[in-house]
């Protein structure tokens, strides 16, 4: 995972979808006790990270069964986290972008096993060998764009970093090098997802056409009671979004915090935090938005055909030869074992932002967590696991 990869942040999304039999609906006393357990778990886990701002939600089959907020979106001047506060999703975005790419394959727009030269021409290194499937499964062999001398100075703390200058794919292109043994091995690759985003925008007809097509696709993740809005999931920066955005804070070993939004003179949302061309960390929004997308994908089946979803969550042979979470990586998602269950999801981190979301498909329960603090302790994952442990009664 890259220096830019957005570490695990906890956004808890639990939902009850569909109509359950009357006997399966918890009574008010049980619901109250469960809410209290979740509230205490959030306070206990998030309390380890001081005033860190946290949103969390739990969704089960389309219904929100619990949600919580805590801490400060901005430390100075202080502004508390609310239900509409926006956070960067970092690499959790990979899980949320992958279904869109697979939907294009379902519709015959993409062929997962064609070389990307079929869509982009031969200009990119490896274009005649690397396939769309390799981009989705981290098996391209592309070196890390963010560690390349051609682009490393463009990102913090590089001497050419400017958080007010828009980025383009052309600025990143010089760091896309010849891939090593394409298709042979799993190697987590932000570069692959950057190329995937370039491919998707190209076949859509440009950046705005891609954003519109993606918005239209994600609307299917909403419910009549909880429609998915631009405030909940977005790939666009705006002055309006800035007013709701949680600043990202990096915690150092001595306990001090660095505000990513102010440390480098950003006049708005830093241009490398999310949005195009950063399709390795495309999205921002709320825990509710992330939770609804996972619930629609893994529980309600609103985004992909069952066979496509099965392929998405099946670990690749290359991943099975890897270690830790990578062993279970399919396309844009991996499994996490906790609380006696197997959760399908993804985490993310970038500078001061972390996120984590996962679905226990056996229970139809999704938990999503977003946090505006990043450190070696991985705040989002810590909080998400505590909430997963406390969710047993839902």
pLDDT, tens digit, for every residue of 9-61? 323 232 323 333 333 456 677 788 899 999 999 999 999 999 999 999 999 99
Average pLDDT over residues 368-373: 98
Residue 15 lies in a domain: no
| Cβ atoms 379, 12 nearer than 8 A | no
| Token code pair at residue 255 | 């306990």
Q: Do the Cβ atoms of 8 and 354 come closer than 8 Å? A: yes
Mean of pLDDT over the chain: 92
Q: What is the pLDDT of residues 141-190, one digit of tens each?
A: 999 999 999 999 999 999 999 999 999 999 999 999 999 999 999 999 99
Phi-psi category of residue 325: left, alpha or beta, with phi > 0 → left and psi -120 to 50 → alpha: alpha
Q: Report residue 360's pLDDT band, with 50, 70 and 90 as the boundaries.
A: very high
> Residue 303 is inside which H or E element, if any?
none
Give the residue numbers spanning the domain of 229: 84-352+368-378
**What pLDDT, on a 0 to 100 scale, did the predictor assign at position 31?**
80
Quick check: is 59 in a domain? Answer: no
The pTM of the full predicted model, rounded to 2 decimals, is 0.92
State pLDDT tens for residues 280-304. 999 999 999 999 999 999 999 999 9
pLDDT at residue 140 above 80? yes
Please report, for the domain that includes residue 293, its CATH number: 3.40.710.10
Classify residue 101: in a domain, yes or no.
Answer: yes
Q: Tell me how far the alpha carbon of residue 244 is from its chain's centroid.
A: 19
Alpha helices per DSSP H over the chain: 28-46, 92-106, 117-120, 132-137, 169-172, 190-204, 207-218, 239-244, 260-263, 287-295, 306-313, 317-320, 379-390
- The HSE-up count of residue 49 (CA atoms within 13 Å, CB side) is 33
Please report which confidence band the pLDDT of residue 325 belongs to, taking 50, 70 and 90 as the band edges.
low
pLDDT at 8 over 60: no
Residue 178, CA distances (Å) to 124, 192, 291 in order: 8, 12, 37
pLDDT for the residue 165: 97
Q: Residue 326 above 70 pLDDT?
A: yes
Mean pLDDT, rounded, for 364-389: 97
CA atoms within 13 A on the CB side of 55: 29
* pLDDT at position 15: 32
Phi first, then psi, for residue 347 (nearest 5°) are -115, 180
Helix axis angle, 207-218 relative to 190-204, nearest 10°? 100
Establish if 11 belongs to a structural domain.
no
Q: Structurally, how many domains does the chain consist of?
A: 1
pLDDT of 239 above 90 = no
pLDDT at 322 (0 to 100)? 87
* Mean pLDDT, residues 63-92: 97
Q: Is residue 25 part of a domain?
A: no
pLDDT band at 339 (very low <50, low <70, confident <90, very high): confident
With respect to residue 251, please indicate whether it lies within any of the assigned structural domains. yes
Whether residue 219 lies inside any domain: the answer is yes
* CA–CA separation, 40 and 60 (whole Å): 20
Diameter of the chain by CA atoms?
A: 63
Mean pLDDT confidence for 63-71: 97
- Would you say residue 98 lies in a domain? yes
């Amino acid at each position: 995972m890259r220096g830019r990869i957005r570490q695990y942040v906890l956004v808890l999304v639990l939902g009850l979808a569909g109509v359950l039999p009357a006997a399966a609906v918890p009574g008010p006393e049980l619901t109250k006790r469960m809410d209290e357990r979740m509230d205490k778990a959030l306070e206990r886990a998030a309390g380890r990270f001081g005033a860190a701002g946290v949103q969390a939600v739990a969704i089960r089959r389309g219904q929100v069964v619990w949600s919580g907020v805590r801490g400060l979106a901005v430390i100075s001047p202080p502004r508390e986290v609310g239900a509409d506060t926006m956070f960067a999703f970092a690499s959790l975005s990979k899980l949320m972008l992958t279904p869109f790419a697979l939907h294009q394959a379902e519709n015959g727009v993409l062929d997962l096993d064609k070389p990307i030269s079929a869509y982009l021409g031969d200009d990119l290194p490896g274009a005649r060998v690397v396939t769309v499937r390799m981009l989705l499964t981290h098996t391209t062999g592309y070196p890390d764009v963010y560690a390349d001398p051609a682009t490393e100075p463009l990102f913090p703390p590089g001497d050419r970093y400017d958080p007010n200058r828009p980025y383009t794919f052309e600025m990143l292109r010089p760091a896309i090098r010849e891939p090593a043994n394409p298709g042979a091995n799993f190697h987590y690759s932000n570069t692959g997802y950057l190329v995937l985003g370039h491919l998707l925008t190209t076949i859509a007809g440009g950046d705005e056409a891609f954003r519109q097509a993606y918005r239209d696709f994600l609307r299917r993740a909403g419910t009549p009671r909880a429609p998915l809005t631009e405030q909940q999931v977005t790939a666009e920066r705006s002055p309006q979004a800035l007013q709701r955005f949680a600043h990202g804070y990096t915690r150092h070993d001595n306990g001090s915090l660095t505000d990513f939004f102010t440390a480098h003179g950003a006049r708005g949302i830093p241009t490398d935090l999310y949005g195009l061309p950063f399709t390795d960390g495309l999205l921002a929004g709320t825990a509710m938005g992330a939770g609804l997308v996972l619930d629609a994908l893994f529980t309600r089946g609103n985004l992909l055909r069952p066979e496509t979803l099965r392929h998405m969550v099946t670990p690749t042979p290359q991943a099975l030869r890897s270690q830790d979470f990578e062993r279970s990586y399919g396309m844009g998602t991996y499994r996490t074992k906790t609380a006696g269950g197997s959760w399908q999801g993804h985490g993310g981190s970038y500078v001061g932002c972390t996120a984590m979301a996962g679905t226990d498909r056996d229970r139809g329960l999704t938990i999503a967590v977003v946090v505006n603090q990043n450190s070696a302790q991985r705040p989002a994952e810590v909080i998400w696991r505590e909430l997963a442990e406390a969710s047993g009664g839902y």
